[in-house]
Each structure stands twice: as C-alpha cells, then as structure tokens.
Copies of this chain bind each other. A is one copy, B any other.
Amino acid sequence: MQYAPTLCAAVQTSAEQGILPPCHHHEAVHDPQLVSCMCPLFSCPWEGHLEVVVSHLRQTHHINILQGAEIVFLATDMHLPAPTDWIIMHSCLGHQFLLVLRKQEKYEGHPQFFATMMLIGTPTQADNFTYRLELNRNQRRLKWEATPRSVLECVDSVISDGDCLVLNTSLAQLFSDNGSLAIGIAITTSKVHNSEAEM
C-alpha cells in the first residue's frame, strides 16, 4: 500500500452557518449534461459538464488529487468541531473519485464521522466499481466496502442515510494517531462489470 503525503483539504464550515449548505444539484440542473459543483465544502454557484468537474474542484476549491489503485488519505485535525469536511480526489482505473469525510452531529453533542466515495461520473459508471475504506490501528481494523455513488447524487443524503462508513468519536480516536486519521482507500472494478465484460 502506497503511503501518500499529507494531502488533505480540511475546511471548517462556520459556526454561524450551523448546518452544511443544502444539496442543490437536483434543483439547479436543467440540462442533464450539466452538473452543479458538488463540492460539499462551499455553496458554489458553478455548474458545468462532468468532464470539467475535476479541473473546477482542483482550481477553484484546491482539492488535491491522489493517484493509484490503493492509497492512504491522511485526514488531519480530527479534533476540529463539527461540522467539518475533509475532501480528496482519487484518480485510478481511468476515473476520478471523490472521498468525503464528514464530522457531523446527527445527535446534538455527539459528533460522528461519516466517510463515503463518489464517482465523478454517471450512476451507471459508478455501478462498475467497488470502493474499500480501511482503518487499521491499535489492534483494530474496520473495513467498509460498497459501490460508489455518482456525484450526480447528493452526498448529504448518503451521509444522512448513514449508508457509508460511520465512526463514533471514541472509535475515531482509537484509529487516530496524534489527531490524524489514516484512511486506506482501494478501488476495484466490481464483479458485475467483469461479467459484463466477458459477455
């Protein structure tokens, strides 16, 4: 497994906001070829084609991109108060994925961490992949595997549904080292994709 340097985008939404900006894809997109900016960090008025989403995220939001089938994303400053998002792009298998790690208080006074991966592509393309998030420390290991969602879906609903890797604060601390959480990320093509390719 390749250890990447500390490449994380931790942006704390302001306490005045209280809640994260609502998802605005579905209402804003009229041309099905156009997508709104899905960066959950900011209320961004941008919209554009899927092909230019990556360059928008890099240039406007300074989201870093990591290369390789298996990488490690080091999220620092896990102690920051909720709501906080950590975002990274992951490039592999000819596609770009977006990892979103969110610290959020679903229950007041009890922040939790939610991590999910989304494909910068269509839902049909996303179905071809499986992502794995792995935490490994202190003789404990937690692995979550699922099909990525498309960025055309709303990251907020994925997280509010809890259909992602969920960590309570004490587990996050057990897996953290000096306030940083190392998340192993692997992307593979799913079996459905393989069997389709054989047909």
Contacts and interface: CB of A to CB of B under 8 A. Distances in A.
Interface in A162-199: 162-163, 166, 168-171, 174, 190
What is the size category of the interface that chain A forms with chain B? Answer: 20 to 34
Interface in A84-135: 106-107, 110, 130
Nearest to A164: B171
A17 interface: no
A139 interface: yes
A125 to B, nearest CB: 15
A170 B174 contact: no
Interface stretch (A28-36, A39-47, A144-152): A144-152
Chain A contact residues: over half helix, strand or loop, or mixed?
strand
A147 B142 contact: no
Contacts of A163: 140, 170-171, 174
Contact of A166 (B106, B139, B143, B171): B171
A144 B145 contact: no
A46 B146 CA distance: 45
Contacts of A166: 166, 168, 171
Interface of A: 106-107, 110, 130, 139-147, 161-163, 166, 168-171, 174, 190
Given A107-B110, A139-B147, A141-B145, 12 more contacts: A107-B107, A139-B190, A140-B145, A140-B163, A141-B143, A141-B146, A142-B142, A143-B143, A161-B170, A162-B170, A166-B166, A166-B171
